[in-house]
Amino acid sequence: MNAFMLEGWTPILLLGAIFIVGVYFLSRKVSRKTLYTVSLVLSLICFAFVLYSIFVVGGWEGMGLGFVAISVLLGTWLGTIIGISSKNISV
C-alpha cells in the first residue's frame, strides 16, 4: 500500500523514467549520429540547468531544480545506452 512513500521524489524519478523510455524509442527510429546529437544537446541543456539552479536560484529550490536536471540527464544517457545496445543485439 505504501509503495510510493517517496512523496517529493516520485515526480523526479518519473521524469527520469519518461526520458529513458522516450530516448529508447527515439533510438529505434533515428540513426546513431542523430541520436548522439540529440543526447548531446539534451545533456548540455541539463548542465546549463544545473548551473542555473546553483548560481541563480540557490537554496532548496535550486537543489530541487538541480535534482530534476540530473534525473533528466541520467534518463537521457541511460535511454541512449540501452537503445544503442538493444539495436546492436537485434541487428
Taking the domains of the chain in order of start, what are their residue ranges? 10-85
- Please give the backbone phi and psi of residue 58, each rounded to the nearest 5 degrees, phi first: 70, 175
Residue located via cell numbers 540501452: 82
Cα-to-chain-centroid distance, residue 66: 12
Rounded to whole angstroms, how far apart are CA atoms 23 and 16? 11
Give the chain's end-to-end CA distance (angstroms, integer): 42
Q: Do 79 and 24 contact (CB within 8 A), yes or no?
A: yes
Instruction: Write out pLDDT tens, residues 40-87.
Output: 999 999 999 999 999 999 888 899 899 999 999 999 999 999 998 887
pTM of the model: 0.83
